[in-house]
């Protein structure tokens, strides 16, 4: 069955960076996009960006442009999301998701990774 | 402030029918882009409930249905059950700088 397994919770200081991994299994990694979405307290779901593991193409929501980098390693079926310049408002649960190409929805979700930004 | 507008909360008694609206604009739903819906149970990751406006993934009961018209979409839940109590989010593609993907702010469904 399709599974997306994310790395564990992180606590970071303001200004630091965080890198979250998302290991996929149960399907052909390069046949689907990986999207990243976060859920912040009281703010609902926020879309961050997408990655095509097959081509290495990426796209980012304007809000996160310049602060987020999405990468993948096809040899290990793993995607990564790195967010820099962390602020307290970045405290959230971060999800990787699987998306059928160019259909812009998420048919499977990782379990989520809690990132806490505090001094 | 989310690009797609949902009511913050709805409620209904077991067995009843409830609907959740999702209002967008000419750069997303009104442009003909598909609407998708997610259910997030307490403490769990969201799961896909409806894709492509009115399609259910395998395993989703037919008590859940979706529709789209103009700049809006709706999720209907019939035969309400206690374990339907969750947060529900709509999603669509958006061609403006707000995109490429936008979500509604979420609706908390309470089963009375």
pLDDT in tens, A12-52: 999 999 999 999 999 999 999 999 999 998 888 999 999 99
- What is the DSSP annotation of A68-103? EEEEEETTTTEEEEEE-S--GGG-EEEEEEEE-TTT
Residue A102: per-residue pLDDT: 83
Using a CB-CB cut-off of 8 Å, the residues of chain B touching A111 are 45
Using a CB-CB cut-off of 8 Å, the residues of chain A touching B103 are 37, 44-47
How far is Cα A6 from Cα A22, in angstroms, rounded to an integer?
A: 4
Segment A48-74 mean pLDDT = 95
B54: exposed, middle or buried (C-beta count within 10 Å: 0-12, 13-18, 19+)? middle
Would you call A90 an interface residue with chain B, using a CB distance cutoff of 8 Å?
A: no
Task: Determine the distance in angstroms separating the CA of B13 from the nearest CA of chain A, rounded to an integer.
Answer: 25
Mode of pairing for the β-strands spanning B101-103 and B47-50: unpaired
Q: State whether B47 and A109 contact (CB < 8 Å).
A: yes
Residue B59: per-residue pLDDT: 94
Residue B1: per-residue pLDDT: 81
Residue A101's pLDDT band, with cuts at 50, 70 and 90, is confident
Residue A89: per-residue pLDDT: 95
Question: Residue A20 in contact with residue A37, Cβ under 8 Å?
Answer: no
Of A44, A103, A104, the CB nearest to B105: A44
Which residues lie closer than 8 Å to A1 by C-beta, 6 or more apart? Answer: A26
Q: Which residues pair with A113 in a beta bridge?
A: A94
Using a CB-CB cut-off of 8 Å, the residues of chain B touching A114 are none
Mean pLDDT (chain A) is 95
Per-residue pLDDT of chain B (112 residues), as tens digits, is 889 999 999 999 999 999 999 999 999 999 999 999 999 999 999 999 999 999 999 999 999 999 999 999 999 999 999 999 999 999 999 999 888 999 999 999 999 9
């Amino acid at each position: 069955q399709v599974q997306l397994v994310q790395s564990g919770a992180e606590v970071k200081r303001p200004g630091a960076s965080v890198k979250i991994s998302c290991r996929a299994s149960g399907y052909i990694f390069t046949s689907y996009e990986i999207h990243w979405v976060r859920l912040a307290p009281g703010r609902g779901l926020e879309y961050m960006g997408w990655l095509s593991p097959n081509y290495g193409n990426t796209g980012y929501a304007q809000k996160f442009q310049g602060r987020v980098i999405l990468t993948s390693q096809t040899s290990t079926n793993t995607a990564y999301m790195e967010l820099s310049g962390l602020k307290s408002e970045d405290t959230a649960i971060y999800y990787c998701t699987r998306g059928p190409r160019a259909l812009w929805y998420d048919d499977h979700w990782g379990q989520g990774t809690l990132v806490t930004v505090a001094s | 402030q989310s690009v797609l507008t949902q009511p913050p909360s709805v409620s209904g008694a077991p067995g009843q029918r409830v609907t959740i609206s999702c209002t967008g604009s000419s750069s997303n739903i009104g442009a003909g882009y598909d609407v998708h819906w997610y259910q997030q149970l307490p403490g769990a990751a969201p799961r896909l409930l409806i894709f492509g406006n009115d399609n259910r993934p395998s395993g989703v009961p037919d008590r859940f249905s979706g529709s789209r018209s103009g700049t809006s979409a709706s999720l209907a839940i019939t035969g309400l059950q206690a374990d339907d109590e969750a947060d529900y989010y709509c999603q669509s593609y958006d061609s403006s700088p707000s995109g490429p993907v936008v979500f509604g702010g979420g609706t908390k469904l309470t089963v009375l």
